[in-house]
């Protein structure tokens, strides 16, 4: 903890009474409301502002300390930060929870209702954005000085509504009622150029300097959100950029009388930070997206360089003070922008500039799927970023020159390593640019990193075998255990002591209690309470009643063919058929719960949502089911809903086609909260298996090499369907239209696709999945055994804390000191 600033105002009030006074003061003087007239939202704002007061002084102190000591800073560049809510996080990390809640209760205000008023900061699509949020929290908790840089989107990820079983999208408006956590910094505004031309200026010594003359300039204005670490030890900054049109331009146009032009120019500039791109099924390839990428990359670089230069002057030492982590290729243009700043603005020689660039930058890859790898048409780059395109050509020339020297005449190799793809009309490969511009590149699970070496970066790995490493993802246990599951946390503290709150590996202490009948009962009781809370939410949002004693089988994540929600829905139909065929057998009651958003243009994903609803309608109404099977689709999945679902999960579905899920992080959150995983050998499931042991997980299905072989042989589902009585029965129901009486042809194309292609091997894994699910039922029937396995999941997943992940980045990639 840093010493208090001598200018610090009177110490902030502690204790419930002082908190009550503080909240009332905020309500009166900042919100301008009386107690009688205050709405829940006003109480939320007043409470958040009162809590925020506790954050500010330590934050200022930590910023100042990092500045004064000149410690190396980490800069985490990400187009997405999927933060969720912050009130509970900040209260909890600052140890203010009890005081604030007591204060609110004394004011006759319900803490739960107040917390529910906070809109989610949904500035991300899914795993990649949530990982960035967990990393920010862990960086602060480990006292590593760091900035997150991203975009302050006016509108986060769309809201999902379900009408008649179909997904509909509605705009999201998180800033509508102002954001109590952010501090606007209008004085921090960096100019971001676009378009224009490059001039060559001759120096006296015959050298040539390039000067980029952008045609258009947009301002990036900073908004800072303090990110509080565990026990308030350290506070970092998340700096998000908002786009503003520079006033001068507007004024000039106004003076010329071109009022309409001035306004539209302004709208075009400010469109950059208007909305988060909501597709994680393919890169959009649109100009606005490239503008977003360059906008925040350039703003981040200008910001960190100015900070460095104020203290050190020279940029030669940048790699000693600055570590820039690229969250996927979205900020990959920083490679060219940093080179441009060093070469053109600071007159550095190429070799020095390249050393500095590579020394600062490192890059994380989050997907292997070829359709997801970003590339930009050369023509668009030349038009929007002409100088950057020249620099990229130059980087490519030097890089390919080295390759030809080492491997003369190998044209295949040159084509594969080139930053420019020539097949589909000349495009810049952003993954290649990020790879060459970085000193380290990493995948996000052991399997994924190995696959990177064998596939997309095979030739790069051959050239520089030290560069590609693995950093298996993690999740912050503060949010995903302590805050979202207070009952379990309390039970753990009581039974193994509080050490795990600071050291997740201490959860191992639970192992010795796994077989203890009394403890098992208490563990199960916590789960029951959480399931009751979820049952209530299900009732409110879908009208469906579920029995909290049934197994809660949870499949929550973005809807994607490779994540195979369809496999789960098909198994649901097969189970329904099986129960109807033998209604007198002893079936284990189950509630299948789905949640997740589909990209708006991803028709097949939307059809899977519709199918889940069609199946739910039939199953939930069938008196023969007698509560032994229920199907629920919870709309509008987001961080806050995940915080309710995860503590209530018995079974966690992690059933992607092997080799396609880079890591997964929901798998870790669910396991940590005592859910057993049914999953394929994919992503981080593989490492979870090593940690929790095969007896405590349900692994099924093809392995990555088997998937590869099937595909090579030209897999189609026809044979698997014919060979499986159950599956053919399911397919018949889909094609006959019994599931969709209002549109009998609805699933004809889906069935045809499974028969003729089935790229995601749903039919290939169906039987082994169905069989594994019956093993799940058998274990559920032996509750003591089930609870034992659940406890061991919680006990053995400590390694998947994002603190461990961040420590590895700090030591092996960023080379910044970190506490142990």
- Pull the structure tokens for residue 779: 């274990």
Q: Which residues of 479-507 are buried (b: 16+ CB within 10 A; e: fewer)?
A: bbbbbbbbbbbebbeeebeeebbeebebb
| Near ligand 26V by CB under 6 A: residue from 22, 23, 128, 220 | 128
Cβ nearer to ligand 26V, comparing 119 with 283: 283
> Which among 429, 448, 478, 557 is annotated as catalytic?
557
| Near ligand 26V by CB under 6 A: residue from 58, 84, 119, 126 | 126
How near is the Cβ of 221 to ligand 26V at its closest, in Å? 27
How near is the Cβ of 746 to ligand 26V at its closest, in Å? 23
- Residue 123 binds ligand 26V (CB under 6 A): no
How near is the Cβ of 715 to ligand 26V at its closest, in Å? 18
How near is the Cβ of 560 to ligand 26V at its closest, in Å? 6
Give the Cα separation of 479 and 492 in Å (integer).
16
Give the Cα separation of 318 and 354 in Å (integer).
12
How near is the Cβ of 62 to ligand 26V at its closest, in Å? 27
Q: Segment 358-397, which members bind ligand 26V (CB under 6 A)? A: 366-367, 369, 371-372
User: 567 near 769, Cβ under 8 Å?
Assistant: yes
| Near ligand 26V by CB under 6 A: residue from 127, 647, 659, 798 | 127
| Near ligand 26V by CB under 6 A: residue from 280, 303, 758, 765 | 280
Is there a catalytic annotation at residue 669?
Answer: yes
Q: Segment 550-609, which members bind ligand 26V (CB under 6 A)? A: 560
Cβ nearer to ligand 26V, comparing 367 with 470: 367
Helix (H, G, I), strand (E, B) or coil at 560: coil
Q: Which stretch binds ligand 26V (CB under 6 A): 126-134, 167-175, 424-432, 803-811?
A: 126-134
Cβ nearer to ligand 26V, comparing 115 with 281: 281
Count how many Cα atoms sit within 13 Å of the Cα of residue 489 in the half-sphere of its side chain: 16
Give the Cα separation of 435 and 380 in Å (integer).
22
Rounded to a whole number of angstroms, the distance between the first and last alpha carbons of the chain is: 15
The CA angle 239-245-247, to the nearest 5 degrees, is 115
> Which among 357, 489, 665, 794 is annotated as catalytic?
665
- Residue 507 binds ligand 26V (CB under 6 A): no
Helix (H, G, I), strand (E, B) or coil at 151: strand
Q: Which stretch binds ligand 26V (CB under 6 A): 38-46, 123-131, 731-739, 796-804?
A: 123-131
The sheet with strand 375-377 has its strands ordered as 375-377, 427-429, 420-421
Cβ nearer to ligand 26V, comparing 226 with 664: 664
Is there a catalytic annotation at residue 563?
Answer: yes
Helix (H, G, I), strand (E, B) or coil at 245: coil
How near is the Cβ of 194 to ligand 26V at its closest, in Å? 25
Q: Segment 415-444, which members bind ligand 26V (CB under 6 A)? A: 444
Give the Cα separation of 576 and 622 in Å (integer).
10
Q: Segment 626-665, which members bind ligand 26V (CB under 6 A)? A: 661-665
- Residue 282 binds ligand 26V (CB under 6 A): yes
Cβ nearer to ligand 26V, comparing 599 with 727: 599
- Residue 683 binds ligand 26V (CB under 6 A): yes
| Distances, alpha carbon 666 to alpha carbons 297, 482, 649, 661, in Å | 29, 16, 11, 12
> Which among 101, 291, 340, 366 is annotated as catalytic?
366
Selection from 300, 339, 289 nearest residue 77 by Cα: 300
How near is the Cβ of 488 to ligand 26V at its closest, in Å? 23
How near is the Cβ of 762 to ligand 26V at its closest, in Å? 15
Q: Report phi then psi at 211, rounded to 5.
A: -125, 120
Cβ nearer to ligand 26V, comparing 291 with 366: 366
Please state, as a whole number, how many other Cβ atoms lie within 10 Å of the Cβ of residue 13: 19
- Pull the structure tokens for residue 21: 């006074």
- Residue 455 binds ligand 26V (CB under 6 A): no
Selection from 263, 294, 265, 289 nearest residue 275 by Cα: 289
How near is the Cβ of 675 to ligand 26V at its closest, in Å? 17
Q: Which residues contact 628 (CB under 8 A, 6 or more apart)?
A: 550, 579, 587, 588, 589, 590
- Residue 330 binds ligand 26V (CB under 6 A): no
Cβ nearer to ligand 26V, comparing 107 with 600: 600
Is there a catalytic annotation at residue 665?
Answer: yes
How near is the Cβ of 124 to ligand 26V at its closest, in Å? 9
Helix (H, G, I), strand (E, B) or coil at 686: helix
- Residue 474 binds ligand 26V (CB under 6 A): no
- Residue 685 binds ligand 26V (CB under 6 A): no
Beta strand residue intervals within 302-396, DSSP E: 322-327, 361-364, 375-377
> Which among 563, 592, 630, 691 is annotated as catalytic?
563
- Residue 451 binds ligand 26V (CB under 6 A): no
User: 727 near 574, Cβ under 8 Å?
Assistant: yes
How near is the Cβ of 665 to ligand 26V at its closest, in Å? 5
- Pull the structure tokens for residue 191: 């100019």
Cβ nearer to ligand 26V, comparing 474 with 674: 474
> Which among 669, 691, 788, 796 is annotated as catalytic?
669
Give the Cα separation of 686 and 281 in Å (integer).
24
Give the Cα separation of 56 and 236 in Å (integer).
11
How near is the Cβ of 682 to ligand 26V at its closest, in Å? 9
- Residue 686 binds ligand 26V (CB under 6 A): no
Cβ nearer to ligand 26V, comparing 135 with 212: 135
Q: Segment 689-728, which members bind ligand 26V (CB under 6 A)? A: none
- Residue 327 binds ligand 26V (CB under 6 A): no
Beta strand residue intervals within 380-439, DSSP E: 420-421, 427-429
User: 142 near 806, Cβ under 8 Å?
Assistant: yes
Q: Which stretch binds ligand 26V (CB under 6 A): 120-128, 307-315, 524-532, 698-706?
A: 120-128
> Which among 54, 234, 432, 558 is annotated as catalytic?
558
Radius of gyration of the chain (CA): 27
Output DSSP code: residue 478. I
Instruction: Please tell me the count of residues contacting ligand 26V according to CB under 6 A.
Output: 22
Please, where are the H alpha helices in 70-203? Answer: 87-93, 97-106, 111-117, 127-141
User: 450 near 431, Cβ under 8 Å?
Assistant: no
Cβ nearer to ligand 26V, comparing 49 with 444: 444
Q: Which residues contact 739 (CB under 8 A, 6 or more apart)?
A: 573, 611, 614, 615, 618, 733, 746, 747
How near is the Cβ of 492 to ligand 26V at its closest, in Å? 26
| Per-residue binding letters, 222-251, with ligand 26V (x by CB under 6 A) | ------------------------------
**Bridge-based pairing state of the strands 216-228 and 235-244:** antiparallel
Beta bridge partners of 325: 76, 362
Selection from 488, 520, 516 nearest residue 501 by Cα: 488
- Residue 763 binds ligand 26V (CB under 6 A): no
Is there a catalytic annotation at residue 712?
Answer: no
Cβ nearer to ligand 26V, comparing 293 with 344: 293
Is there a catalytic annotation at residue 527?
Answer: no
- Pull the structure tokens for residue 492: 């753990």
Write out the catalytic residue numbers: 366, 557-558, 563, 665, 669
| Footprint on this chain of ligand 26V (rule: CB under 6 A) | 126-128, 131, 280-282, 328, 366-367, 369, 371-372, 444, 473, 560, 661-665, 683
């Amino acid at each position: 903890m840093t010493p208090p600033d001598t200018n610090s105002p009177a110490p902030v009030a502690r204790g419930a009474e002082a908190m009550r006074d503080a909240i009332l003061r905020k309500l009166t003087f900042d919100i301008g409301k009386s107690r009688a007239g205050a709405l829940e939202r006003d109480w939320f704002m007043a409470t958040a502002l009162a809590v925020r007061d506790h954050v500010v002084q330590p934050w200022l102190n930590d910023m100042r300390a990092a500045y004064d000591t000149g410690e190396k800073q980490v800069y985490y560049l990400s187009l997405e930060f999927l933060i969720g809510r912050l009130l509970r996080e900040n209260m909890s990390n600052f140890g203010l929870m009890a005081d604030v809640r007591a204060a609110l209760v004394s004011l006759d205000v319900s803490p739960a209702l107040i917390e529910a008023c906070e809109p989610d900061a949904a500035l991300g699509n899914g795993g990649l954005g949530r990982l960035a949020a967990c990393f920010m929290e862990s960086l602060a908790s480990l006292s590593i000085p760091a900035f997150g840089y991203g975009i302050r989107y006016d509108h986060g990820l769309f809201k999902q509504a379900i009408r008649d079983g179909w997904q509909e999208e509605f705009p999201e408006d998180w800033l509508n009622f102002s954001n109590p956590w952010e501090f606007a910094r209008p004085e921090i505004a960096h100019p971001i150029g676009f378009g224009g031309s490059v001039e060559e200026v001759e120096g006296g010594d015959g050298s040539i300097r390039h000067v980029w003359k952008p045609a258009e300039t947009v301002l990036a204005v900073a908004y800072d959100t303090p990110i509080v670490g565990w026990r308030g030890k350290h506070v970092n900054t998340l700096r998000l950029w908002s786009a503003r049109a520079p006033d001068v331009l507007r004024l000039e146009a106004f003076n010329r009388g071109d009022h309409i032009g001035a306004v539209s120019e302004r709208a075009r500039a400010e469109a950059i930070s208007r909305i988060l791109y909501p597709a994680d099924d393919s890169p959009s390839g649109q100009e606005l997206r490239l503008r977003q990428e360059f906008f925040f990359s350039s703003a981040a670089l200008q910001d960190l360089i100015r900070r460095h230069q104020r203290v050190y002057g020279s940029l030669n030492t940048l790699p000693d003070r600055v570590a820039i982590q690229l969250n996927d290729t979205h900020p990959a243009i920083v490679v060219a922008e940093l080179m441009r700043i060093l070469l053109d603005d600071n007159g550095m020689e190429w070799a020095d500039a390249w050393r500095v660039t590579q020394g600062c930058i490192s890059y994380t890859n989050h997907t292997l799927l070829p359709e997801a790898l970003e590339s930009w048409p050369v023509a668009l780059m030349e038009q929007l970023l002409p100088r950057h395109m020249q620099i990229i050509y130059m980087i490519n020339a030097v890089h390919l020159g080295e390759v030809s020297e080492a491997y003369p005449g190998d044209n295949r190799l040159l084509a594969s390593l080139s930053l420019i793809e020539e097949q589909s009309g000349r495009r810049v490969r952003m993954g290649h640019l990020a790879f060459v511009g970085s000193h380290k590149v990493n995948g996000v699970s052991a399997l994924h990193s190995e696959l990177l070496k064998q596939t997309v970066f095979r030739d790069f790995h051959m050239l520089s075998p030290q560069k590609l490493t693995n950093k298996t993802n993690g999740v912050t246990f503060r949010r995903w255990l302590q805050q979202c599951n207070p009952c379990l946390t309390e039970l753990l503290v009581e039974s193994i002591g509080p050490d795990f709150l600071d050291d997740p590996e201490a959860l191992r202490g639970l192992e010795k209690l796994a077989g203890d009948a009394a403890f098992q009962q208490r563990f199960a009781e916590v789960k029951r309470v959480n399931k009751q809370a979820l049952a209530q939410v299900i009732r409110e949002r879908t009208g469906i009643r579920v029995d909290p004693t049934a197994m809660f089988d949870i499949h929550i994540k973005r809807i994607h063919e490779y994540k195979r929600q369809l496999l789960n829905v098909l198994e649901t139909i097969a189970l329904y058929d099986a129960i109807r065929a033998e209604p007198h057998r002893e079936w284990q009651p189950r509630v299948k719960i789905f949640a997740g958003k589909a990209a708006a243009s991803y028709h097949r994903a939307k059809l899977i949502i519709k199918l889940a609803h069609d199946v739910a309608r039939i199953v939930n109404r069938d008196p023969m089911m007698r509560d032994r099977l229920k199907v629920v689709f919870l709309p509008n999945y987001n961080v806050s809903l995940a915080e309710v679902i995860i503590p209530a999960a018995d079974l966690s579905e992690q059933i992607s086609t092997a080799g396609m899920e880079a890591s997964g992080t929901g798998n870790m959150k669910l396991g940590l909260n005592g859910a057993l995983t049914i999953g394929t050998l994919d992503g981080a499931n593989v490492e979870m298996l090593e940690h929790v042991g095969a007896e405590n997980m349900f692994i099924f299905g093809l392995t990555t090499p088997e998937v590869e072989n099937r595909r090579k042989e030209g897999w189609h589902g026809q044979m698997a369907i014919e060979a499986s009585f159950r599956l053919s029965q399911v397919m018949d129901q889909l094609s006959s239209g019994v599931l969709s009486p209002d549109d009998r042809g609805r699933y004809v194309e889906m069935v045809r696709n499974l028969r003729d292609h089935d790229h995601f091997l749903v039919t290939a894994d169906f039987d082994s999945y169905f069989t594994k699910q019956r093993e799940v039922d058998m274990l559920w029937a032996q509750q003591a055994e089930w609870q034992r396995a659940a406890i061991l999941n919680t006990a053995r997943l400590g390694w998947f804390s994002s603190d461990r992940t961040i420590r590895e980045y700090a030591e092996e990639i960023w080379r910044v000191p970190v506490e142990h």
